[in-house]
Structures are given as structure tokens and as C-alpha cells.
Amino acid sequence: MRSIVLSVLCLVGFASTSVLAADAREPVNDRYCTTCHGTDGRGNEGVQAPRLAGMEDWYLRHQLENFRAGVRGTHPQDEEGLAMQPMAAKLSDASIDDIVGWVGSWTYVPAEPTLTGDVNAGQRLYQTCATCHGQNGEGNATFNAPALAGQNDWYLVTQLQNFMAGYRGAHPQDARGAQMRTMAKSLGNEQGIINVVAFINTLGRSK
């Protein structure tokens, strides 16, 4: 039922964001997501675009708004964020609504693990993460913490690196990012990041 309602919402949103110019110009809309983020938003390692399917609607919306406002994706070292930001910068509120609904209609397919690390060491490190992101990496909206389980591991690694280096979360208006920066630093180093992500890979996700 949920997917039917979403589909209907999507169609409405789709129509409202389409622009049909008077001189028969090619109509457009802002549904670009799957070009980069892959079939049904499964994520695409080939262009380093993360999984969107299964992402919480509140988190997706918040990130789109951050990108749009330049709170995320403007640091010169944030390669992937820099590719996303100009796309989001052009989005209207209606387009964001449409995209969030569209993404919510996609079938989630579990991400394939691509890295190996010390899972036991990662599990110890993860206890800090679990406070906000949940024991099973399921996420917790109350703490503005998205689900981690089931996300592409290479994306989690890049984002933890970015948080640690201040490429993400250092913007003065990014309070949630600042909080995450502090936590990311507690992982210590590159190996810590790999280990904790290797552990997250074991959490699995069925949604």
C-alpha cells in the first residue's frame, strides 16, 4: 500500500516539476538520481555515488537541503560532494519532495561488501557509533543518525575520511555534521575506519 501511495505522489510531483516551454523545447524534470546513483538508487561504485534506496526520507531531505544551501559539498577536497552540490543547488522544494518520494518507492537490494578489515576491532570501535546509529546500525531519527547497515562500504569509508579531515561537517551551519566530526575522529586513523566499516558490513539489513 505504501508503495502505491508513493507512486501516486511521485506522478503528481513528476508532473509539477516538468517544464514544457512554449517553443516545444525538450521537457525536463529533476529526476536525475539514477544516472549516478544506479538502478533503483542501489549506489554506483563506478562514479562513487552512494546507495539512496532504503535511506530514511528525513535524512535524504536534510542532506539535499544541506547540499542545496552549500552546507555540504562545497569543500574543495570533497570530490564526490562537489559533483552532487551543483545538482542539488538547482532543486526547488517541490523537486526535493518529488525526489524523496521517488527514492522511497525503490526496492532496496543489500549492498555487496567490497572491503575486508578486522571485524572484532571494528566492533569495539562501533560501540561509540551505536549510541546514535543503533546496535544494528539501523539508525535513529531522534538523534538525526541515519542507518549505516546496508550502505555501500566504500561510501561509508569516504564519508568517515571526509568527516575526520573536515571535508564534511566543518561548515558553520552543519551542527549535525560537527557532532559527527567529533565522533569520526575517535576512530583514530584509516585502519580504524576500515575496521569499523568492516564490522558494519556484518550487521546486514533486510529492508
Partner 1 sequence: MSKPVTRREFLNLLGAAGGSAAALRVGVALGMLPVSTAAATPDLLDLGRANRRVVVLGGGMAGLAAAYELGKHGYDCTVLEASHRCGGRVFTVRHGDLIDEIGNRQYCDFDDEPHMYFNAGAARIPSTHRHLLHYTKELGVELEVFINENKMAWVQDDALMGGKPIRNIDYTTHTKGFMAEIMGKALSSAELDEPFTEQEAETLMGMIRAFGDLDMDDLYTGSFRAGYAKGGFLEHGVQKDIIAFRDLLKTNMGRNLLTANEGDTGPILMQPVGGMDMTIKAFEKRLEGKIRYHAMVRGVRVRNDGVDVEYEQDGVRHTINADYCFNSIPTHLMVGMEHNFPADYVRAMKYVRRGEAYKAAFQAKSRFWEDEDIYGGISWMNNPSQQIWYPTNGIHKPKGVILAAYDYGGGMFHTKMTHEERIEAHLKDGEKIHPNYRNLVEKPITIGWHRMNHMLGCSARWNRSRGGWTHDEEIMYETLQAPVNGRHYFIGDQISVHSAWQESAIMSAHWALADMDKRVRAELA
Q: Which residues bind partner 1 (CB under 8 A)?
A: 11, 14, 21, 23-26, 28, 32, 34-40, 42-47, 49, 82-83, 85-90
With respect to partner 1, which residue has the nearer C-beta, 3 or 120? 3
**Least separation in angstroms between CB 120 and partner 1:** 28
Minimum CB–partner distance for residue 93 and partner 1 (Å): 18
| Residue 152 zone, left/alpha/beta (φ > 0; ψ -120 to 50; rest) | beta
Residue closer to partner 1, measured from CB, 87 or 119? 87
Cell numbers that stand for 57 in this block: 526520507
Closest distance of CB 88 from partner 1, Å? 8
In angstroms, the CA 172 to CA 85 distance is 17
Considering beta carbons, is residue 34 or 128 the nearer one to partner 1? 34
Query: What cell was used for 115?
Result: 572491503
Task: Kindly tell me which of 43 and 137 has the beta carbon lying closer to partner 1.
Answer: 43
Count the neighbouring beta carbons within 10 Å of the beta carbon of residue 55: 24
- The distance of closest approach from Cβ of residue 54 to partner 1 in the complex, given in angstroms and rounded to an integer, is 15
Taking the complex as a whole, how short is the minimal distance between the CB of residue 169 and partner 1, in angstroms? 21
125 Cβ partners below 8 Å, 6+ apart? 186, 187, 192, 195, 196, 199
Q: CA-to-CA distance for 77 and 109, rounded, in angstroms?
A: 30
Nearest to 84 by CA among 76, 97, 74: 74
Cα angle 135, 137, 189 (rounded to 5 degrees) comes to 95
Toward partner 1, which CB reaches closer, 1 or 22? 22
What is the identity of the amino acid at 80?
E
**Least distance (Å) between residue 192 CB and partner 1:** 25
Nearer to partner 1, 47 or 141 (CB): 47
- What is the C-alpha separation between 65 and 85, in angstroms, rounded? 10
